[in-house]
Amino acid sequence: MVNALLIHPADTVAVALRDLAAGEQLTARDADLGGVVAHEAVPFGHKVAVRPIASGTQVIKYGAHIGLATRDIAPGEHVHTHNLVSVRGAVQR
């Protein structure tokens, strides 16, 4: 059952197509996500890492940079304000 969307083949994060529970395996319609399993609950529309992302490196979505990882992120982790910051926006929340 499809529950995730990899928008661009180069993306390091997929988007949850429904609320995901911890332990659910991610499946996309037109990409092989390599059996990544959600580490934690991920709400609809939120991002899940599908590859290891090193602290201080760019997170890729839409095939482009969306900001820097503030810590090492393992495949299956929720990616949001707790581990990703904007480069362009000066004020961080």
Binding site for other proteins (CB under 8 A): 1-3, 5, 7, 15-17, 28-30, 43-47, 61-62, 64-67, 79-81, 84-91, 93
- 70-90 burial, b at 16+ Cβ within 10 Å, e below that, comes to eeebebbbbbeeebbeeeeee
Instruction: Name the residue type at position 64.
Output: A
Q: How far is the CB of 47 from other proteins (least distance, A)?
A: 6
Q: How far is the CB of 65 from other proteins (least distance, A)?
A: 6
Query: Which one, 37 or 85, has the nearer CB to other proteins?
Result: 85
